[in-house]
Amino acid sequence: MSSLKNDFDELMDRVRIGRELTHASFEPIYYLVFSPQQILQVKRELPAWRAKLRNDGWDVTRFSIADTIADLFATAPLRKLWLGADRQSPLHWKRTNEALANFLSQGALQAKLAATLATLEGRKNAILLVTDLEALHPYLRIGTIESSLEGKFRVPTVFLYPGLRTGKTRLKFLGFYHEDGNYRSVHVGG
Instruction: Please provide the CATH number assigned to the domain covering 4-66+108-189.
Output: 3.40.50
Q: Over the stretch 123-155, which tens digit does the pLDDT of each residue have?
A: 999 999 999 988 888 888 777 788 888 888 899
Helix %, strand %, coil % of the chain (to 5): 50, 20, 30
Q: Please tell me the pTM assigned to this model.
A: 0.85
**Domain residue extents for the chain:** 4-66+108-189
Q: Over the stretch 98-120, which tens digit does the pLDDT of each residue have?
A: 878 888 888 899 999 999 999 99
Over the chain (190 residues), the average pLDDT of each successive run of 10 is 83 80 66 89 95 95 95 88 80 78 87 96 94 86 81 91 75 63 68
The single-letter DSSP state of residue 60 is E
- Judged on CB neighbours under 10 Å (0-12, 13-18, 19+), 29 is buried
